[in-house]
Chain A
Amino acid sequence: MERLVKVYDTNFVKWAKDKPEVLSLSADLTGGCEIRDFQATYPDRFYSMGIAEQNMHSFAGGLASEGYVPFIHTFAVFIYRRSLDQVHMSIAHPNAKVRMVGSVPGVTSPAGATHQAMDDIGVMRTVPNMTIIECGDATDVESFFPLSEQVDGPIYVRVLRGEMPRLFNTPMAINKSRMLSDGDDIVLLSSGVCTEEAMRAVHAIQKQGITVHHRHVTCLKPFDDQELMDAIKKSKHGVLTMENHNVLGGLGSIVADKMAEQGIAQKLYKIGIQDEYMHGGSKLYLMKRYGLDAMAVVKKVEEMLDKTLNITEDMLEDFHFELMNDDTRALGV
């Protein structure tokens, strides 16, 4: 398993090279959002906006109305929770080509409830004109840039920073999830950092003779992936969603809406943050504490199948590919 660092910055610099219309704005989180290379490489296209997110949003809307494509950077939580009205009236209503890049969503922020976006997808979903993308690996982060060119309107993207795995070798696409394993006992839909944990669990579950149709979802809005819905229809024991987000409003709710619209009578199980605030701590600690890890998947699948799978933590550890390395993992807040 290849693991990479500085994926966002490196690819942003590369992609923006011949695109003078692309600007980078930062609300005093240039290091925290990993855009220092962009700042150094294109100082004339980098704008430090200070700790003033509302102004940054509206300012970016103004720049976009003049033909620029601003990428605005702050922590995911400040993009929507602190300045939602600006998202609506200065960016989304005029359908402005502003890219709202949300860093350290949910459990990937070690900085506690103030810094942890956990209802951002639920909130942004209800904003007209909004496209919502969530990255789960290095390929997702890399391929976000070319994908963004297809979107004539605002995009909210949850990105990853620090060290991250390369899980996929095909780029992300609008309205298309990636199938990671096939089967019809259960369907498992995971997004963001949850996919790495889900893959560990699927590996162990399939060894027990259970077949899993596992998909990684990057495009949360629009959500029109018929292959995914057909897989749910065919599932013998229902569908399980897994997300780094409140179980209300995110992937689980998106899938539930779609199932109801298509009349798919399957049981839906959700793994996510159980409508509670978290606290500060490392990603792996938070994922375990709030039930977003591989073992949480195993437990939920046992519930779906109504049988014990006899999978223990050490069996999952065998397939653990996160490097516990302080140099690469902890980048601070």
Chain B
Amino acid sequence: MKVNKNDLDPRQVANGIRSRVLDLSIKRGGGNLSQACSSAEIMAALYTRMMNITDLEEPLTPKKFVGAPSATNKDSFTGDDYNGIRGPQYDRFYLSPSQYSIVLYATLAETGRMTNEGFNLFGEDGYVIEHIGESHSPGMDINGGSLGQAISQAAGIALARKLRGDTGRQFVFLGDGECQLGQTWEAVQAMCYRQLDNMVVIVDENGQQCDGKIDDVCGCVQLDKRFEAFGCKVVKVDGHDVDALIEAAKVKEEGKPLVIMAKTSPYQGMDVLKEKGTRIHYVRLTQDDKPKFQACLDKLQA
């Protein structure tokens, strides 16, 4: 049951991502709902159109954890096989805020890369499909999660691939809250200095971080101007407009990393989430909440 990504409608995929994340959150009593709301179109556009990656012959099911990589652990693996064949012409995907892991897993499930049974293993002890994914988790092959590090690692990979003559690009999904970190700017500085135009950074500008709204926590202003000042090519889009996202990924300026600033809403497609206020990084759903969120899910699935 091979799925051709070009046959998929990114809007439907986005809808499916929200549905899957909401469904699982209702079942488990909570989840990263705001992340699914803000990034569903971005993830859907990435996996259906923006990235040059191969389709899978058949969807995969998350494996059991076999121990962290080490010199003696020959069984350890990464989750990059969910992203298709490795090859010089193919793009790579790097999720920086692993707090979005469930959104990535839902995307893989919606695009024929992960089985339904596999997706439902989310958070099961002993499996690699964890709440905060690691290099072994589906769709990943480096450690994000400790914020600010994935962009640097991807830049190192971008340089290595440039030296080798690969034409594939590195797509890094970045949170806007992460732009408070010093390392993010160390990385952007290095990317621009090394002219890594095979880097594409997509910033999910949902204005949210763990403690609440970015504006209420510490602020993180004028990101587009900051990226530009460092030497990036910046494209600003509505992050819920898949056509705009797809077009943005086609922008190329020699010698400049591309940054797509995707303005999003953390409540998109889930109005009921507004009742939870602004601290919606991880949303707990009580028995009282569940009927309202179930109604929202029914609407999404209709």
Contact = CB atoms under 8 A, between A and B. Distances in A.
Interface of A: 47, 49-50, 52, 54-55, 57-68, 85-86, 88-90, 93-95, 128-129, 151-153
Contacts of A153: 70-71
Given A89-B145, A93-B143, A54 B152 contact: yes
B107 to A, nearest CB: 23
Contacts of B194: 47
A65 B183 CA distance: 20
Nearest to A129: B70
Interface stretch (B28-36, B156-164, B209-217, B220-228): B156-164
Contacts of B190: 49-50, 52, 55, 59
B280 interface: no
Contact of A129 (B71, B135, B142, B154): B71
B291 interface: no
A64 B142 CA distance: 11
19 contacts: A52-B190, A54-B186, A55-B186, A58-B153, A58-B187, A59-B155, A59-B156, A59-B190, A61-B142, A61-B149, A62-B155, A65-B141, A68-B160, A85-B146, A88-B146, A89-B149, A93-B69, A93-B143, A152-B71
B182 interface: yes
Interface of B: 68-71, 134-135, 141-143, 145-146, 148-150, 152-161, 164, 182-183, 186-187, 189-190, 193-194
Nearest to A63: B156
B152 A62 contact: yes
Contacts of A89: 143, 145-146, 149
Contacts of A47: 159, 194
A95 B153 contact: no
B70 A54 contact: no
Contacts of A49: 190
A86 B142 CA distance: 12
Nearest to A25: B156
Contact of A58 (B152, B182, B193): B152
B149 A67 contact: no
Of the candidates A50, A58, A151, the one having the most CB atoms from chain B within 10 angstroms of its own CB is: A58
A26 to B, nearest CB: 13
A275 to B, nearest CB: 29
A58 B155 CA distance: 9
A267 B24 CA distance: 59
Contact of A95 (B70, B154, B182): B70
Q: Among the interface residues A50, A54, A153, which one has the most CB atoms of the partner chain B within 10 A?
A: A54
A286 B103 CA distance: 55
Given A55-B152, A153-B71, 18 more contacts: A50-B186, A52-B183, A52-B190, A54-B148, A54-B152, A59-B153, A59-B159, A59-B190, A61-B152, A62-B156, A63-B159, A65-B157, A68-B160, A90-B142, A90-B143, A95-B71, A151-B71, A153-B70
A95 B142 CA distance: 11
* Residue from A55, A63, A85, A152 with most neighbouring chain B CB atoms (10 Å): A55
A66 B157 contact: yes
Contacts of B160: 62-63, 65-68
B164 A94 contact: no
B155 A95 contact: no
Contacts of B154: 62
B68 A63 contact: no
Contacts of A68: 160
A62 B142 contact: yes
A49 B186 CA distance: 9
Contact of B68 (A62, A65, A128): A128
A286 B143 CA distance: 41
A54 B189 CA distance: 12
A93 B144 CA distance: 12
A52 B164 contact: no
Contact of A94 (B69, B152, B159, B183): B69
